[in-house]
């Protein structure tokens, strides 16, 4: 008997037990739960199920480091072996994962876009589509996926949080807040909706309200996976910075942002981002850079996302650890890329890397010249407005301006 998933869509090669395991994964994935790894056992027991193995590969690659690609390999092999029996929806998801494995994120996004037009019931595929749109700095695609979620899954948990964040990234803040509040009404457990509302309050200059909102929601995060838990605490730290409570932000760093899983790229990115901001405000962070930089050095040569590389590079620059070698590798990678990816790496990411090295070395006029020219296009490297705001703060510091909180400029 062939299983159907929680969206009532058929799954090739999956018996009811495998289907139940996949549905549990979907709930964990959409809700940022802590038990995503349970999917691997489901996939191991279902070698003939291409969709399940494709999702297992995707989950590994979403680690966003070289280890993820290595651990994805057996699931990719099973996906390919069973792919000739896949149905239309599954073939499109497998195509997205195949492109992802080749680091062709634009092709992965295109396959997920087509899939979710034809099968918008697949909320899990919509979520993965938003993941790629976000990393590519494609706010229009982020919104397209979010709109499909909100139309087809009206009233369902997690759908409104997805559209809320997409609307915020497209500067439609009033609509975003409506959806974010609706998501919290449906389920206060929706940590992504907590995150979307934090973005809205940040963008509107409501740091006191934002801090209170996240403090109100924080009890939920201990039951969540590491990414959303640490990332929401990162936002809580930003609100402390906006309120001039730098020491409180530093305490959040020590207690919530570093040390649980130092090998995790997202923990590394969040740590760099917070230490960078703290130092821009004149706070001495002591030896906290060293373990972060040691982890960043291990990422040399990976070049998964330009947003990540710029953070790794700054950590190395703050510790005098082979910055030139990392930047040279980044520039070689940029020259090897083609199409849209090549434009982003060559025209934006590599020059931004040079600017960051200049800034860390005290060559502030050079850094200002380079960063100033890049800021209007910097969204192409991925990340959110709030995450990229550190580059605006850095530019302001180069120019001797007040680089404290200001509303995010709409073009960025």
Q: Residues 267, 65: contact at Cβ < 8 Å?
A: no
**Residue-level pLDDT at 302:** 97
CATH code for position 216? 1.25.40
Look at residue 24 and tell me if it is in a domain: yes
DSSP label at residue 254: I
Whether residue 5 is found in the same domain as residue 72? yes
Look at residue 242 and tell me if it is in a domain: no
**Residue-level pLDDT at 320:** 85
pLDDT tens-digit map of 307-316: 999 999 999 9
- Residue that the structure tokens 């760093």 belong to: 253
Mean pLDDT of 67-78: 98
Look at residue 187 and tell me if it is in a domain: yes
Share of the chain above pLDDT 70, in %: 97
- The tokens describing 236, both together, are 């809580």
pLDDT level of residue 411 (50, 70, 90 thresholds): very low
**Alpha carbons 303 and 157: distance in angstroms, whole number:** 35
pLDDT tens-digit map of 206-252: 999 999 999 999 999 999 999 999 999 999 999 999 999 999 999 99
Whether residue 74 is found in the same domain as residue 205? no
**Alpha carbons 249 and 237: distance in angstroms, whole number:** 5
**Residue-level pLDDT at 408:** 34
Whether residue 58 is found in the same domain as residue 183? no
Look at residue 57 and tell me if it is in a domain: yes
**Residue-level pLDDT at 2:** 76
**Alpha carbons 186 and 49: distance in angstroms, whole number:** 33
Name the H helices within 3-104. 16-30, 38-44, 50-61, 66-82, 88-101
**Phi, psi (rounded to 5 degrees) for 337:** -85, 155
**Residue-level pLDDT at 400:** 85
Look at residue 213 and tell me if it is in a domain: yes
**Alpha carbons 134 and 225: distance in angstroms, whole number:** 19
DSSP label at residue 10: B
Name the H helices within 244-288. 246-252, 265-280
Look at residue 102 and tell me if it is in a domain: yes
**Alpha carbons 241 and 208: distance in angstroms, whole number:** 11
Whether residue 195 is found in the same domain as residue 113? no
**Is pLDDT at 324 greater than 50 in this prediction?**
yes
- The tokens describing 99, both together, are 């492109």
Q: Point out the domain boundary residue: 135, 156, 177.
A: 135
Domain hosting residue 328, numbered range: 271-412
Whether residue 113 is found in the same domain as residue 208? no
Helix, strand, or coil here: 263? coil
Q: Point out the domain boundary residue: 135, 165, 188.
A: 135
Q: Point out the domain boundary residue: 86, 111, 135.
A: 135
Q: How far apart are the first and last CA of the chain?
A: 51
Task: Single out the residue of 196, 201, 203 nearest to residue 163, CA to CA.
Answer: 196
- Residue that the structure tokens 């996302």 belong to: 305
Whether residue 292 is found in the same domain as residue 359? yes
Whether residue 280 is found in the same domain as residue 409? yes
**Is pLDDT at 59 greater than 50 in this prediction?**
yes
Whether residue 130 is found in the same domain as residue 161? no
Whether residue 118 is found in the same domain as residue 24? yes
Whether residue 289 is found in the same domain as residue 180? no
pLDDT tens-digit map of 139-149: 999 999 999 99
- The tokens describing 369, both together, are 């010249």
**Alpha carbons 184 and 326: distance in angstroms, whole number:** 43
Look at residue 153 and tell me if it is in a domain: yes
Total number of domains constituting the chain = 3
Look at residue 230 and tell me if it is in a domain: no
Residue 170, Cβ density class (10 Å: 0-12 exposed, 13-18 middle, ≥19 buried): middle
- Residue that the structure tokens 């409506």 belong to: 178
pLDDT tens-digit map of 167-210: 999 999 999 999 999 999 999 999 999 999 999 999 999 999 99
Contacts of 369 (CB under 8 A, 6+ apart): none
Whether residue 209 is found in the same domain as residue 313? no
**Alpha carbons 146 and 149: distance in angstroms, whole number:** 5
Q: Residues 60, 43: contact at Cβ < 8 Å?
A: no
Whether residue 365 is found in the same domain as residue 400? yes
pLDDT level of residue 404 (50, 70, 90 thresholds): very low
């Amino acid at each position: 008997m062939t299983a159907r998933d929680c969206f009532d869509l058929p799954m090739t090669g999956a018996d009811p037990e495998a289907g139940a395991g996949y549905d549990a994964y979907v709930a964990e994935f959409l809700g940022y739960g802590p038990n995503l790894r349970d999917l691997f056992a489901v996939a191991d027991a279902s070698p003939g199920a291409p969709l399940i193995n494709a999702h297992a590969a995707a989950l590994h690659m979403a680690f966003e480091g070289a280890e993820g690609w290595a651990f994805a390999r057996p699931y990719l092999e099973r996906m390919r072996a069973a792919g000739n029996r896949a149905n239309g929806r599954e073939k499109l998801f497998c195509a997205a994962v195949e492109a992802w494995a080749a680091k062709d994120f634009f092709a992965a996004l295109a396959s997920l876009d087509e899939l979710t037009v034809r099968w918008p019931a697949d909320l899990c595929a919509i979520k993965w589509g938003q993941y790629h749109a976000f990393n590519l700095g494609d706010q229009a695609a982020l919104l397209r996926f979010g709109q499909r979620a909100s139309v087809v899954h009206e009233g369902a948990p997690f759908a409104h949080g997805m559209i809320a964040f997409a609307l915020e990234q497209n500067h439609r803040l009033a609509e975003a807040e409506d959806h974010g509040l609706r998501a919290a009404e449906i389920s206060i457990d929706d940590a992504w909706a907590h995150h979307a509302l934090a973005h809205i309050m940040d963008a509107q200059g409501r740091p006191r309200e934002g801090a209170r909102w996240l403090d109100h929601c924080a009890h939920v995060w201990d039951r969540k996976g590491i990414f959303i838990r640490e990332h929401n605490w990162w936002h809580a730290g930003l609100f402390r910075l906006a309120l001039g409570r730098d020491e409180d932000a530093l305490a959040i760093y020590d207690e919530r942002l570093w040390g649980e899983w130092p090998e995790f790229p997202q923990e590394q990115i969040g740590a760099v981002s917070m230490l960078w901001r703290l130092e821009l405000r004149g706070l001495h962070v002591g030896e906290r850079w060293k373990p972060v930089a040691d982890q960043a050095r291990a990422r040399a040569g990976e070049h998964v996302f330009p947003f990540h590389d710029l953070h790794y590079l700054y950590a190395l620059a703050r510790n005098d650890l082979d910055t030139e070698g990392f930047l040279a590798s980044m520039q070689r990678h940029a020259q090897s890329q083609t199409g849209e990816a090549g434009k982003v790496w060559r025209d934006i990411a590599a020059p931004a890397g040079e600017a960051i090295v200049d800034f860390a070395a005290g060559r502030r006029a050079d850094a200002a010249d380079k960063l100033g020219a890049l800021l209007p296009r910097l969204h192409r490297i991925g990340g959110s407005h709030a995450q990229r705001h550190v580059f605006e703060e850095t530019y302001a510091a180069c120019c001797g301006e007040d680089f404290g909180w200001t509303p995010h400029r709409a073009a960025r």
